[in-house]
Amino acid sequence: MSAGVPNQNGTITPLMFPSGSWRLMGVHYAPSLQTKRGVAVLMCNQVGPDYGEYYKTARMLVGMLVARGFDCLRFDYTGWGDSQGGSEEGSVQQWLADIASAEALLRQRSGCSKICLCGFGFGGLLAAAHAARCEAEALLLWESVVDGRSYCRTLRKNHSAWLRGSFAKATKLDKKFQAMGFVAAADLERQMRRWRLTNLPLCRAHRVFAVVQEGSSDQAVIVEHLSRDGISVKTCAPGDALPLRPMRTAIAWLKEIALEAMALEAMALEGMAGDG
Partner 1 sequence: MDESAVVFGNQSLVGVLCEPAQAGAMAVIFVNAGNTHRCGPNRLYTILARRLAAKGYASLRFDISGIGDSPPATGLGKFRDYAARQVREATDYLAHAKGYPHVVMLGLCGGADVAFDGGTADERAAGLILVNGAFVDGDAFADIYHKASRKTTNRFYAAGLFSPRRWWRLVTFQSQFWKRLARRKQAAPPAHTACDRSTTETASVDSRLKWETLARRKANVLLIYSEGSVFWDIYNAANKDYLTSCYPADRLAVAFHKNADHTFTLLSAQERLAKQIEQWLDTLPPSHSIAERRAIGERI
**Residues in the site for partner 1, rule: CB under 8 A?**
1-3, 5, 7, 12, 14-16, 23, 25, 27, 52, 55-56, 59, 63, 74, 76, 80-82, 84, 87, 164-174, 176, 178, 180-183
Cβ of residue 87: shortest distance to partner 1, in angstroms?
7
Rounded to the nearest whole angstrom, what is the least distance from the CB of residue 265 to partner 1 in the complex?
31
Cβ proximity to partner 1, 177 vs 195, nearer residue: 177
How many C-beta atoms lie closer than 10 Å to residue 37's C-beta?
Answer: 20
Please say whether the beta carbons of 99 and 66 come within 8 A. no
- Residue number, 59 or 196, with CB nearest to partner 1: 59
Q: Using CA atoms, how far apart are residues 143 and 121, in angstroms rounded to an integer?
A: 5
Cα separation values, 200 from 131, 146, 194, Å: 10, 10, 11
- Nearest of 72, 67, 68, 58 to residue 112 by alpha carbon: 72
User: Whole-angstrom Cα distance, residue 38 to residue 128?
Assistant: 22
101 vs 235 by CB, closer to partner 1? 101
In angstroms, give the least distance from the CB of 35 to partner 1. 17
Three-point CA angle 105, 108, 109, nearest 5°: 85
Q: How far is the CB of 64 from partner 1 (least distance, A)?
A: 12
Q: Nearer Cβ to partner 1, position 12 or 262?
A: 12
In the bound state with partner 1, the residue whose beta carbon lies nearer, of 183 and 237, is 183
